[in-house]
Chain A
């Protein structure tokens, strides 16, 4: 049993030089076989392992990570958590996750610094406002909070927005979800890793999957850089590189990989209270707990695995942010980053079985991976434990592209690069 993180533990440590702390998770050698192998030690993979052990009692589980845990897209996002989607399949799924976010620090005994500060989508014209009202209505019909704001109400929350009529993007209103917010991205991976490890899950880092062990149409294990490991069920959870890993099993996925960029400025005193987004633009603005303004979220609109984006995309994001919040122009940029994201062909994720027995897929997260972490883990654990999807991830099957049941929030069609 690990020493719990608490004020009491800290106080106890004051008398022994804080020497009673143990590593947050073990560094085990891989065993010859497991009940379940999860490929990918990001937030989603670790959450899946945690819920497999906690909810389904399956503890003979390994999480295989080719580099270090949380080093992929879990560490390369804009840390936003929200459930404000119009389509019921999406908002019900993300709302289930949002509820888990609200209790996550207690559940994991790890401070994930979840800060429900409100997330608002700005509308810049009549068309935007109609779409926002429609979205808010759809959410409220399913019991999710959404509030339509007038420019006067917005000014009270975000006084630095350019609310004048001659702004480049005049602000006509917004819809806000107060229960949405931000979280500390690394802590989510570490918290799930520590909690899963305590339940007996093996987290094996620096272990790259190089192939699958096949028996007819069944996957019975994986070949890795640390040898062959057998498994009852194998789950791919490597969004960004889903096509690569699924390709090792001979699958072609409805996914194209693109890089998605964001940036952070120097730290300043509180100036952005909520998370500001826009219906017409694609720039998210929020302030981290350290004070840096985090902006961005736009992809290079062509396939790429280069974890360095094009400067023109960052320039575009900054131009948009400065046009709606001019005071940002005074800040200096600290750094930019980019992550490789799975862009699926309808903008919704894929979680469920594949045509190959024993092989499951969780990927295609597009812009929405981080906020989905707990819901993704919960439903994927259910799918891996029972072999069947949970009611929340049933709509996100791989077959939906063949059957025409796509979940296209932005109604773009099968063009990931236009989304």
Chain B
């Protein structure tokens, strides 16, 4: 098990976090059908780094974006999102 550095709580066990979807899989409510389908149903699924939305579900419950490597599990960046991320 590895650790994820929550932008609000600091390093925590990965078990406290849940994966949601990739950043490019967020469906724009005004997108046309083909674009929405692309976002909802397709993934680049790279064997390398991808930007993923995770949630600190069993902690502060805030959302964040991890740039994570899918073979080594290395996390190169963590970014807070949502109202909490505003200055």
Point out residues on A near B: beta carbons under 8 Å: 241, 243-244, 247, 252-257, 301-306, 310-312, 345, 401-402, 414-415, 417
Contact = CB atoms under 8 A, between A and B. Distances in A.
A256 B43 contact: yes
B21 A415 contact: yes
A261 to B, nearest CB: 13
Contacts of A415: 21
A303 B41 contact: no
A61 to B, nearest CB: 28
Contacts of A305: 47, 70-71
A302 B54 CA distance: 10
Interface of B: 1, 14-15, 18-22, 34, 37-38, 40-47, 50, 52, 54, 70-73
Contacts, number: 66
Contacts of B70: 257, 303-306
Nearest to B43: A256
B19 A301 contact: yes
Nearest to A303: B70
Contact of A301 (B18, B37, B73): B18
A303 B45 contact: yes
A252 B44 contact: yes
A311 B1 contact: yes
A401 B33 CA distance: 12
B23 to A, nearest CB: 13
A303 B70 CA distance: 7
B56 to A, nearest CB: 14
A305 to B, nearest CB: 5
A417 B41 contact: no
A307 B1 CA distance: 14
Given A301-B18, A303-B52, A254 B41 contact: yes
A252 B42 contact: yes
A314 B35 CA distance: 38
Nearest to B48: A305
Contact of A252 (B20, B34, B43, B47): B43
Given A305-B71, A310-B1, A414 B45 contact: no
Contacts of B52: 302-303
A401 B46 CA distance: 21
A254 B43 contact: yes
A348 to B, nearest CB: 13
Nearest to B73: A306
A417 B43 contact: no
Nearest to B42: A252
Contacts of A303: 19, 22, 43, 45, 50, 52, 70
A253 B18 CA distance: 23
10 smallest CB-CB distances across A and B, nearest first, come from A243-B45, A302-B19, A252-B42, A401-B41, A254-B41, A305-B71, A305-B70, A305-B47, A345-B41, A256-B43
Contacts of A241: 47
B73 A304 contact: yes
Contacts of B43: 243, 252-256, 303
Contacts of B45: 243-244, 247, 253, 255-257, 303
Nearest to B20: A417
Nearest to A344: B41
Given A303-B70, A311-B1, 20 more contacts: A243-B45, A243-B46, A247-B45, A252-B38, A252-B42, A254-B43, A255-B43, A302-B19, A302-B52, A302-B54, A303-B43, A303-B45, A303-B50, A303-B52, A306-B73, A310-B1, A310-B14, A401-B41, A414-B40, A417-B21
Nearest to B18: A301
A406 to B, nearest CB: 9
A243 B71 contact: no
Given A303-B45, A303-B52, A402-B37, A312 B71 contact: no
11 contacts: A253-B42, A256-B43, A257-B45, A301-B18, A301-B19, A305-B70, A312-B15, A345-B41, A401-B42, A402-B41, A414-B41
Nearest to A402: B37
A257 to B, nearest CB: 6
B1 A312 contact: yes
Contacts of B19: 301-303, 417
A256 B25 CA distance: 12
A415 B27 CA distance: 13
